[in-house]
Structure 1
C-alpha cells in the first residue's frame, strides 16, 4: 500500500469518526468528488489541501501524513536518538534492544524514512554484537528495497556495511561483488565522500582475498579520487586504506607517508574517536615497517588508548588497542607487560566478537609462553582454538590457526601443531 493510499484511508477514517459525509468535508473549498478521489488513493492532495483537511477534521497534519500524532512523533524521534547515542557510545547490546523496540512499534508503518533509519541502526548494532548473518539479512533487505525514502548517502552507507559484513563473515566474493556493483557498474557514479569510503572498504576485501595487484591499482584510483574531491573525509578514508595496501604489497615507507597524511588531515578536521583510530593505525604500521622504533610506536599507542578512553569509543576499539600494545611490548622484550595488556583486551570482549577475542587470546598465549608460563599459555591456547572453530574460514582465521600451530610447536605438542597447520592451509584455500 502506497503512502498516498494510507493518507486517503486516514482521511476517510477520521471523517467517519467525526460523522461527516464527503460533501460536508469538502464544502465549500473542495468538491465532494475530489475528496472521494483522495480517499480512494487516486489523487495526491497538495500540502495546502492536507492542511485544510486537517483543520476541517480537527486533527493534526502529522497524523494525516504519517499516521501518528505530534506527541507520538516526538516520542519516536526521541527513542531513535537514544538508540543512536547508545550505538555511538559503544553500548551495542543496549542499542540493539532500543532499535528492536522501535521496529516493533506499529507507528513506524507510515514513516518509511524513519523505519529505514531504525533498520540501518539495528543492522549496525547487530553487526557490533557479532551476529553477522542477521546483519547481512537486514542490510540486504534495505539495499534491495528500492524505497525512495532511502537517500543516496544512506544507500551508500548500507552497501558499505553490507560489504564489510560479508568480508568479516569470510564471504569475500560477496563482499567484493556488493562493492563493485555499486562502484564499478555500467552506470558508474561520480565520486563523492561516501563512495570513497565504500571504495576503502572494497580495498580491504581485496586484501583479505589476496588480490593484491587489484588492491594496488584500485588504491591509486581511490587516492586520486580523494585528491580530486579535496575533502578531509575522502582524503582520510583513501589514504588510511591505501596505506594498508601499500604495507601489504611491500611498500612500507609509502604506507607510512600515506597514514601520516591521513593522520594530519584527521588532526585538523576530524572528531576525536576517529583521530585515535588513525593514530593507532599509524603506530602499528610503524611497528611493522620500522621495528627498531618499537618504543616510539608503543608511546603513540599509549596516547591513542588514552584518547579512545576519553571518547565514546567501543570496547572493541579499546580491545584492539590493547592487542596492539601487547604486540609492541613483545617486540620490546617485555612479555610480562604484554600479558597485562592482552588480559585487559580479553576481559573487554565476549564471545559475540569471537574472531577478535581469539586473536587476543592467541596474543596472550604467546606472551605467557615468552614469560615461561607454559601451563597458562596452554590454557589460553585451548580457549583460542575453541573460538577459532566457531569462526568462518578466512585468511584471517588461517593466520590464527598458523599462530596456534607455532605456539603448539613451542609447547612440544607436535601432533596437535600439525593439525593446526592443516586448518591454516584449509582456511587459506590451499
Structure 2
C-alpha cells in the first residue's frame, strides 16, 4: 500500500480522471469528510477502504501503488518544460483538464506553456481561452509581473484575432501596471509593443507613434530580440504613416542586428516582415522581398511551424502577383486553400484581397470587385480602420484600371 501523502495524491488524481466529486466517490460507505482527509494525507486508509474505493473507481487496488504517469499537473509541467515538444505539451493540456485549482502557481506556469503551444500552432481560439484563464489567475495571484505578462499576451492574441478595440484596452492596462509597479525593461517593453501594434491596427497612428518612440528609447541600450522587436514595431508604425523609406530602414536594422543564434524563430519572422513591408511599398520592392523570402526559406526547415509556413507561402503569392506572375500566384493561393488557415486576421483579409485581385486579372472583374467590397466592409465593421482604408484604396485603383481598359 502506498504511504501518505502519496496515496492521497493518487486517490485525488484517479477521482478527477474519472470525473467524480468527493460526494459521488464516498457514496454511502464513507463520509466525504473522511475522503477529504484521505486525499489530503491526514488519514491512513484501511485495506477495506482501499478495496471499496478501487471498486468505485473501476480500478485494481494496485492502482494506488502506481505513481502518476504524468497526469498530475506538477509532473506534466516538469516534463513539458524540460522536453519542449508538442507531445509533452499535449499531455500538459490533459493534466490541466483534470487538475484542481488549489495550486495556483503551477497552474499559471502550465497555462503559460500551453498558450505558447497554441500560438505556435496558430490555434487562436484555444490560445485565447487559455490566455483569458491565465489573466484571471494572474489577478488572483496578485503578482504584478504575472499580471503584466498575461495581459500583454492576451492583448496580442486579441489583436491577431481581429478584436482590436479589446486589445487596446487590455494592453493599456498592462502598460500602466508595468510602469506603476516599476517592472523590468522587458516587461514594460512587451506591454508597449502589444499596445503599439493594436493602436496601429485601429488606425490610431499618432498614439502608436508616441508609444513606439517611447519603446525604442526604452530598449536603446538593450541588444538582441527585445530591441529587434521594438524596431520592427517602429517600422510598422512608420509604414502605416506613409514613411515607407524610414520603415524599411528600421526593419532592415532589426533584421541585420539580430543573429540567428539568438532567436532563430524571430530571425525568420523578421525576414517575413521585411518581405511584407517591401511588397506593400509603392511601388513594391520585389527584389528586396524576394531576397528576404529566400533567406526565410533556408530557415523554415529548422523552425517552421504551420503558421510560419503559411505566412511564407502567402508572401510568395503576393510576390508572384507583384511580378505579374498571376498563374504562379494562383497556384500558391490554391495551395493555401487546401489547409485550415492559421494566419492572423489581418493576413487572412489581405489574402482575400489578393484573391479578389486575381479574379480581376483572370477575367472575372465583377466577382473580384464584389469580393474587395465585402472585405472592405468586413474590416470596417471590425473597426480595423487601417486595413479597411488599404482595401478601399486598392478597390479604387482596380476600378480606375478597369476604366482605362
Shared fold, TM over 0.5: yes
Match of 1:244 in 2: 236
TM-score of the pair, normalised by structure 2: 0.69
What secondary structure is seen at the aligned counterpart in 2 of 1:287? helix
Gaps of 5+ in 1: 1-5, 20-62, 88-93, 413-430
What are the residue-to-residue correspondences of 1:307-322 with 2, within 5 Å?
307-308=299-300, 310-322=301-313
Relative distance call for 1:141 and 1:409 in structure 2 (3 A) is same
Over 3 Å counting, the alpha-carbon distance change for 1:217 and 1:178 in structure 2 is same
Give the Å deviation of 1:276.
1.0
In 1: Cα distance, 2:253 partner to 2:104 partner: 40
Of 133, 137, 141, 1:146 maps to: 141
* Aligned position for 2:174: 182
Task: Give the Cα–Cα distance (whole angstroms) in 1 for the partners of residues 70 and 310 of structure 2.
Answer: 43
Instruction: Kindly provide the CA deviation profile for residues 353-391 of structure 1, in whole angstroms up to 9, marking residues without a partner as x.
Output: 666444324313323432x2539x949976995998699
- Compared with structure 1, are the counterparts of its residues 320 and 179 closer, same or farther at alpha carbon in structure 2 (3 Å cutoff)? same
Report the Cα distance in structure 2 between the residues aligned to 1:225 and 1:354, rounded to whole angstroms. Answer: 29
Which residue of structure 2 aligns with residue 80 of structure 1?
Answer: 80
Question: Which residue of the partner structure matches residue 398 of structure 1?
Answer: 388
The aligned residue for residue 213 of structure 1 is 206
CA distance in 1, matches of 2:225, 2:208: 20
- Alignment partners' CA distance in 2, 1:258 and 1:384: 33
Paired residues of 1:80 and 1:102 also in contact (CA < 8 A): no
In structure 2, what is the Cα distance between the partners aligned to 1:326 and 1:173?
A: 30
**Alignment partners' CA distance in 1, 2:169 and 2:353:** 32
- In structure 2, list runs of 5 or more residues that go unmatched: 1-7, 10-35, 47-66
2:364 corresponds in structure 1 to 374
Distance 2:343 2:209 in 1: 33
Asked if 1:17 corresponds to 2:44, the answer is yes
Query: Would the aligned equivalents of 1:199 and 1:222 in 2 still touch at CA under 8 Å?
Result: yes
Contact 1:358 1:385 in 2 (8 A): no
TM-score by length of 1: 0.65
Deviation at 1:172, TM superposition (A): 3.3
Q: 1-side partners of 2:229 and 2:343: how far apart?
A: 27
Classify 1:406/1:124 alpha carbon distance in 2 versus 1 (closer, same or farther; 3 Å). farther
Task: Calculate the aligned-residue CA RMSD, in Å.
Answer: 4.3
What SS does the aligned partner of 2:253 have?
helix
State the partner residue of 1:224.
Answer: 217
Aligned equivalent of 2:332, options 320, 338, 341: 341
How much does 1:85 deviate? 2.3
Higher relative contact order (CA 8 A, sep 6+): 2
Deviation of 1:201 after TM superposition, in Å, equals 1.7
Distance 1:84 1:18, change over 3 A: same
**Alignment correspondent of 2:290:** 298
CA distance in 1, matches of 2:174, 2:167: 11
- The correspondence for 1:326, drawn from 290, 313, 317, is 317
Go from structure 1 to structure 2 and tell me whether the alpha carbon gap of 1:191 and 1:314 turns closer, same or farther (over 3 Å shift).
Answer: same
| Aligned-residue offset at 1:181 | 2.3
> SS of the counterpart of 2:249?
helix
Shift of 1:248: 1.5
